Structure 1
Amino acid sequence: MGRFRKLLGIPLVLALLSACGGDPAPRQGGGGLERPTINVAMLSLVVNAPYYIAVREKLFEAEGLTVRTQPVQQSTQAYPALKTGDVDIVFANNASMLFGHDKGDLRINLVAEGTRLTPKFMGVLVMPESPITDVKGLEGHSLSVHVLNNIQAITFDAIAGQSGADPSRIDYRQVVFPQMAAALQKGDLDAIHSQEPFLTDAVRKLGARMVADGGAAPATDLPLDGYFSLETWTKENPKTAAAFQRALRKASAIATDRAKVEAILPTYARGIDPEVAKVMTMPHFATTSDPAGVQSLIDLMVEQKRLTNRIDAGTIVFQS
């Protein structure tokens, strides 16, 4: 594990969230899995609820699979380890992984979908006294996104264009979600493009006003994130990939009951106000693979000239 920490460049603690296996090298195990013990790099956001439900409910174990959860602050921290095989699967933003695939840096497969965008799961907020009242009013003003040139800008550019605004006149600034509300309150930003639970928290604490729905058409139901492996990994471990996918789908079905999500959040996501959790908007937790949806995101990124190649979603979405 020393090599793994070195690759990530930060001190991380390996959390064994199910019965620990031994050597993670490929070997036949329960149910004939090529790799019965895998390392998964995970975030601690609302969108990760199904994964932690799967761990708690022993859904991975039911498939003969032991998962070793490696917490990371950002999925990009795990990319070097994914390339070297120290991590088998990483939860990541779809756009980020598509960028890597397009450039040839990471030839990936989407083992299991994570979430899809719902209305008001993301949204643009301003302070109560702001003169900005709609998408058009954002022209010439600063707007935060968690990561520049990524899923928020991609989806919001599409929304702005359909609303008659010029996306090129929006001054995107990179500010991580937990810091957006404070920056807005101090006047460092004109508006913030927030995501749950930070969105609801900012509305409650600052009286922030939503001027644009970040989940509106044409972005509604676009796939946001998922569980990715290298393309070579799924080819070498198809039974393991299928077992992981089945467990995640069962957990995502459980997560359609928001009470189950509210119950699991405190076990892995720190700092979420229980009162916020009760009222915040949930994303759509995917229970199936949707190559057409992934293709829609790819086509949008090509249209916006963010991707060089029109990737065929059918070649990256793993089908068991």
Structure 2
Amino acid sequence: MTLRQLREKTVGLAAVTTVLALTLAGCGGDEGAGDDGSSGGDSSSRQITVAALPLADGAPLYLAQNRGLFKKEGLDVRIQPVQQSIQALPALAKGQVDVIAGANYVTFLQADEKGTLDLRILAEGARVAPHMMDVLVPKDSPIKNADGLKGKKVAVNILNNIQSLTLDAILQERGAGLPEYRQIAFPQMGPALERGQVEAVHAAEPFSSAIQKDLGARVLIDGGSSPVTSIPISGYVTTRSYASGNPEAAAAFQRAVEAAAKIATEDPDAVREQLPEYTRVTAEQAESIHLPAYPATTDADQLRRLTELMREQGLLKKELDPGNLLLK
């Protein structure tokens, strides 16, 4: 798939996201919504609305749906697509969706710290794996190594988030200076690099592969290298209100996605077959892109790696024990 095709498909996805936003906004007056922001459910509620990103992170969600793992747990799971997990955050806080899949931890941990969201983590979604994100430069760029990024303009999808967090950690370990980040959406990174608006881009799959193919861009840094290898980046999150009000459904959802994550880990081809069904990735592209790691259990110690790194870089102001946010 070319960059142009990716951009066109992303425009289509944005339209779907707009429709979803309007739909969710219209849900505010539903009789089932509780005054405390919960969806009004209890331990017998078995219907779950999940806002999900069309990224490889969410593959276990779709595996669980298509292989009947949710039905096995007695759940009726309804998936709503969104372009960025942050777009669904207000809907989650208001109880208009029950779970967000592929929620980037940095944004949601910050929201919890600020008190705008009482977060609970149902299950891990994805961890960093080799080349699932890459720092790319033009093929004729004079930048030859990490040292060359000091002071240079580097594109990231969202400022002060997982991309800058992990890249800064990689550069600091190598003793290299830090770049200046520019917020550029993934579909626009290739054109920005081609026009010289930035000297490098930190692109996630499938955009990384597309930029390399279309522009001949070369990989300068593997975004999954030390010290951020296997660090958690996204998960399945909900609110304390939902988790406490629907304990059986929350636990059943956790079991189903963890079983699906095990399938994804043991059989990557199952993920590659799934991707074209819910993402903008073609079957051909799915065969070669670099997948994230799919943990089958949620590890508080691994999550602490992330929160400690966020503290070091000023993205969290207070100490936070992620173990207190896990589904009990």
Partners of 2:153 and 2:198 within 8 A in 1: yes
Aligned to 1:229: 238
TM-score by length of 1: 0.89
Partners of 1:159 and 1:219 within 8 A in 2: yes
1:213 is aligned, of 222, 241, 244, to 222
Partners of 1:93 and 1:151 within 8 A in 2: yes
Equivalent-residue separation in structure 1 for 2:275 and 2:238 (angstroms)? 25
Structure 1 residues without counterparts, runs of 5 or longer: 1-7, 15-22
Aligned to 1:66: 76
Aligned to 2:159: 148
Which residue identity lines up with residue 243 of structure 1 in the other structure?
Answer: A
How far apart are 1:275 and its partner, in Å?
2.9
1:75-103 residue CA offsets vs partner (Å, 9 max, x unmatched): 12212221121111112101010110111
Equivalent-residue separation in structure 2 for 1:139 and 1:87 (angstroms)? 42
Helix, strand or coil for the counterpart of 2:311?
A: helix
Moved more, 198-207 or 151-160: 198-207
Q: Does 1:40 align with 2:47?
A: no
Instruction: Report 1:237-276 matches (<5 A).
Output: 237-256=246-265, 257-270=267-280, 272-276=281-285
Helix, strand or coil for the counterpart of 1:34?
A: coil
Q: Does 1:297 align with 2:306?
A: yes
Which residue identity lines up with residue 10 of structure 1 in the other structure?
Answer: T
Q: Does 1:79 align with 2:89?
A: yes
Which residue identity lines up with residue 242 of structure 1 in the other structure?
Answer: A
Partners of 2:189 and 2:201 within 8 A in 1: yes
Structure 2 residues without counterparts, runs of 5 or longer: 1-15, 24-31, 34-38
How far apart are 1:10 and its partner, in Å?
3.0
Helix, strand or coil for the counterpart of 2:145?
A: coil
Partners of 2:153 and 2:181 within 8 A in 1: yes
Equivalent-residue separation in structure 2 for 1:80 and 1:99 (angstroms)? 14
Helix, strand or coil for the counterpart of 2:78?
A: strand
How far apart are 1:27 and its partner, in Å?
5.6
Equivalent-residue separation in structure 2 for 1:42 and 1:284 (angstroms)? 18
Change (3 A) 1:27 1:211: closer
Which residue identity lines up with residue 154 of structure 1 in the other structure?
Answer: L
How far apart are 1:178 and its partner, in Å?
1.7
Equivalent-residue separation in structure 1 for 2:301 and 2:311 (angstroms)? 15
Partners of 2:41 and 2:242 within 8 A in 1: no
Which residue identity lines up with residue 277 of structure 2 in the other structure?
Answer: T
Equivalent-residue separation in structure 1 for 2:17 and 2:206 (angstroms)? 28
Helix, strand or coil for the counterpart of 2:19?
A: coil
Equivalent-residue separation in structure 2 for 1:97 and 1:79 (angstroms)? 8
Equivalent-residue separation in structure 1 for 2:88 and 2:44 (angstroms)? 22
1:246-276 residue CA offsets vs partner (Å, 9 max, x unmatched): 1101111111212111111111112x24333
Aligned to 1:123: 134
1:224-263 residue CA offsets vs partner (Å, 9 max, x unmatched): 1011111222122221111001110111111121211111
What is the root-mean-square deviation in Å for CA atoms of aligned residues?
A: 2.1
1:192-221 residue CA offsets vs partner (Å, 9 max, x unmatched): 001111111211221110111111111111
Change (3 A) 1:227 1:304: same
Count of residues in correspondence between the two structures:
299
TM-score by length of 2: 0.86
Identical aligned pairs, as a percentage? 41
Q: Give the 4+ runs in structure 1 shifted more than 6 A.
A: none
Aligned to 1:17: none
Q: Does 1:278 align with 2:277?
A: no
Equivalent-residue separation in structure 1 for 2:40 and 2:47 (angstroms)? 8
Aligned to 1:10: 18
1:51-95 residue CA offsets vs partner (Å, 9 max, x unmatched): 111111111111011011121121122122211211111121010
